[in-house]
């Protein structure tokens, strides 16, 4: 009942806004949810065209148990800029503002990220606290963080709030968020960091063919040699691309006639970019500016 009340209240408020909005992350497909379903049009229709991502009650279990941490979340961005994330898992790492870019890396070991973050902050690893969802799948991650000397703050639910906590460590005591949680929640959290400052890297966990098909249907690019898709959203702080293209990606681009460069740089761009360079603001779901491996066609 609490979840439905949250949906009703959010839908009611959205209907009066002077926007031409489309729900890209919502309560489910049209046949799964009566309101705030994916693709639903909201607003008066007379204002700017915007993408909307919602989770009317993030932390339903927390609310049901009368525990702190449940929040209502909504992200709004220019039309075509929010990642249409399927309801699957997403690997995440997030830190707050004030750090050099790439001080942490989704693909780096947890111990390395803790040490690098501590160095950037000017403290010892023992002064770092990582927030992680309390799930069996995170047992090794928790052990690695503790081995590095950092403290671990476990949460039962609510990883949108968990990511946001990193934006103000002086008040929350949280320096970094790590682990696997919901993909829609990842987009909402990235949008929050985009507004208040911070860095976030994410990757969809696509460990079944059904999930890969679902992600592709919703517009996510999938690397040919990786069951986890590296995804981008202009609302997110940034997300990492591969250090270099894979042979399969190169073959896919070459067969499509997108690149004249020799392998392994057949990625659709006219020049080989430096590894780890920042993605542009282009829409990664468009075949006009991204190769099969997700690299931009740099001009």
Which of 44, 78, 112 is where one domain is finished?
Answer: 78
Residue 235: inside a domain:
no
In this prediction, residue 298 carries a pLDDT of 27
Query: What residues contact residue 288 under an 8 Å CB cut-off, 6+ apart?
Result: 297
pLDDT digits (tens, 9 = 90+) for 141-164: 999 999 999 999 999 999 999 999
> 61 and 155 share a domain?
no
Q: Are residues 174 and 250 in the same domain?
A: no
Question: Do 94 and 197 belong together in one domain?
Answer: yes
By the 10 Å C-beta count (0-12 exposed, 13-18 middle, 19+ buried), 202 is classed as buried
In 71-96, which positions are buried (b, 16+ CB within 10 angstroms) versus exposed (e)?
Answer: bebbbbbeebbbbbbbbbbbbbbbbb
In angstroms, the CA 222 to CA 249 distance is 10
Q: Does residue 295 form part of some domain?
A: yes
Please tell me the distance from the alpha carbon of residue 115 to that of residue 150, in angstroms, as a whole number. Answer: 9
pLDDT at 291: 35
Residues 107 and 221 placed together within one structural domain of the fold: yes
Collapsing DSSP to helix, strand or coil, 211 comes out as: helix
From 230, 259, 285, the end of a domain falls on 230
- In this structure, the answer to whether residues 49 and 106 fall within a common structural domain is no
Whether 27 and 65 share a structural domain: yes
The number of distinct structural domains making up the chain is 3
Domain span including residue 138: 89-230
Asked if residue 162 belongs to a domain, the reply is yes
| Same domain as 174, residue 63 | no
Q: Quick one: pLDDT at residue 31?
A: 58
Distance, in Å, from the CA atom of 66 to the CA atom of 63, rounded to the nearest integer, reads 5
Q: Establish if 262 belongs to a structural domain.
A: yes
Q: What does the pLDDT look like over 14-31, one tens digit per residue?
A: 999 999 999 999 987 765
Contact 36, 72 (CB under 8 A): no
DSSP class of 184: H
Structure token pair of residue 258:
């997108």
Domain end call among 205, 230, 255: 230
Please report the pLDDT score of residue 293 as a whole number. Answer: 40
Q: Are residues 120 and 217 in the same domain?
A: yes
- Rounded distance, CA 122 to CA 124, Å? 7
CATH of the domain at 124: 3.40.190.90
Angle at 62 between CA 59 and CA 65, to 5 degrees: 150
Supply the CATH number for residue 10's domain: 3.30.540.10
261-275 residue pLDDT tens: 443 333 433 333 333
The residue ranges of the chain whose pLDDT is under 50 are 223-299
């Amino acid at each position: 009942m609490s979840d439905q009340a949250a949906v009703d209240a959010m839908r009611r408020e959205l209907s009066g806004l002077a926007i031409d909005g489309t729900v890209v992350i919502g309560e489910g497909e049209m046949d799964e949810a009566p309101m705030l379903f994916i693709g639903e049009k909201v607003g008066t229709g007379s204002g700017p065209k915007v993408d909307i991502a919602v989770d009317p009650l993030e932390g339903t279990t927390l609310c049901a148990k009368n525990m702190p941490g449940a929040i209502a979340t909504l992200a709004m961005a220019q039309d075509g800029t929010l990642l249409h994330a399927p309801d699957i898992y997403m690997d995440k790492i997030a830190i707050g503002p004030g750090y050099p870019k790439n001080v942490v890396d989704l693909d780096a070991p947890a111990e390395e990220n803790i040490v690098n973050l501590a160095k950037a902050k000017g403290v010892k690893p023992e002064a770092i606290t990582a927030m992680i969802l309390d799930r069996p799948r995170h047992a090794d991650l928790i052990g690695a963080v503790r081995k590095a000397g950092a403290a671990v703050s476990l949460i039962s639910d609510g990883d949108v709030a968990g990511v946001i906590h990193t934006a103000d460590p002086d008040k929350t005591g949280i320096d970094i968020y790590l682990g696997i949680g919901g993909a829609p929640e990842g987009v909402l959290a990235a949008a929050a960091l985009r507004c208040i400052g911070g860095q976030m890297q994410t990757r969809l966990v696509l460990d079944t063919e059904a999930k890969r098909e679902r992600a592709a249907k919703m517009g996510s690019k999938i690397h040919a040699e990786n069951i986890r898709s590296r995804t981008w959203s202009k609302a997110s702080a940034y997300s990492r691309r591969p250090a270099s293209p894979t042979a399969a990606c190169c073959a896919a681009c070459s067969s499509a006639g997108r690149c004249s460069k020799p392998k392994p740089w057949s990625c659709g761009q006219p020049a080989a970019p430096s590894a780890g360079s920042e993605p542009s603001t282009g829409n990664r779901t468009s075949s006009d500016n991204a190769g099969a491996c997700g690299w931009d066609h740099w001009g």
